[in-house]
Structure 1
Amino acid sequence: MSVYKSSTGLDENIAAVLCYLFAFLGALAFVMLEKKSRFVLFHALQSIFLFVALMIGHVLAGFIPLLGPLLASLLTLASLALWIILLIRAGQGKWLKLPWVGDLALHQARQL
């Protein structure tokens, strides 16, 4: 349990979990509402950037003949595993920064 609270009154780790649990809607809500916690804001932004990148990957896989469905299936499995890991690490109050999207999220969180 985190001793720090977000602007919403939730513990930071609970708010971060909600950013991943409800991907776009949860993360977008915390981007708009969070005024105090860089931890929550980072996880909200990383969630948005990650799930947008995954959606783009799925769309692009659909354009690849023969291998597209296999790539989309592998991307789905990797996405599920990553989602579970992010939920657990956020719940533990950890800053798990992913390559590319994590860097972008951290940069944006520092500017807001």
Structure 2
Amino acid sequence: MSDSPQYTPVPPQAPQATQSGLSDTAAGALAYVTIIPAIIFLLVEPYNRNSYVRFHAWQSIFLGIAAFAIGIINIIPILGQIIFLIGMLILFVAWIVALLKALKGEKYQLPIIGKYAAQQAGT
């Protein structure tokens, strides 16, 4: 008899179920890229059932609406253009903050806009 270990075959394991789609934090952050992913996340399952993703999608849409409204103000000569520049700078900073908070997994409500986004998302 030899002292060498016997080979015992290991049965193959069933493949592990992989997560399909994006994580909640990635989907929430992606909603801020443009208004298009935000609308898609509100229409496509399973994202439209997730309150976190819905909240960030709605907040992104309301940021887009605010940017459009400030763009309309740009038509007014001089004063409108000053308001436009300041308003767009504020919206840009708010957009960056919301994007980073979504990446961290936080449900950060922007002033004014966040309240309406929470109402629409049902949170």
Taking structure 1 as the reference length, what is the TM-score of the superposition? 0.82
Runs of 4+ in structure 1 deviating by more than 6 angstroms, as ranges, are none
The answer as to whether partners of 1:24 and 1:51 remain within 8 angstroms in 2 is yes
Say how many residue pairs are matched: 102
Shift of 1:14: 0.2
RMSD: 1.7
Structure showing greater Rg: 2
Give 1 or 2: higher helix fraction. 1
Q: Percent identity?
A: 31
Extract unaligned runs of 5+ from structure 1: 1-7
Q: Give the alignment of 1:43-62 within 5 angstroms.
A: 43-62=56-75
Q: Partner of 1:36 in structure 2?
A: 49
The answer as to whether partners of 1:58 and 1:75 remain within 8 angstroms in 2 is no
Q: Give the alignment of 1:65-104 within 5 angstroms.
A: 65-104=77-116
The answer as to whether partners of 1:62 and 1:72 remain within 8 angstroms in 2 is no
**Deviation per CA, 1:12-48, whole angstroms, max 9, x where unpaired?**
0000010001x21010110111233100000001100
Q: Distance in 1 between matches of 2:80 and 2:102?
A: 32
Q: Partner of 1:5 in structure 2?
A: none
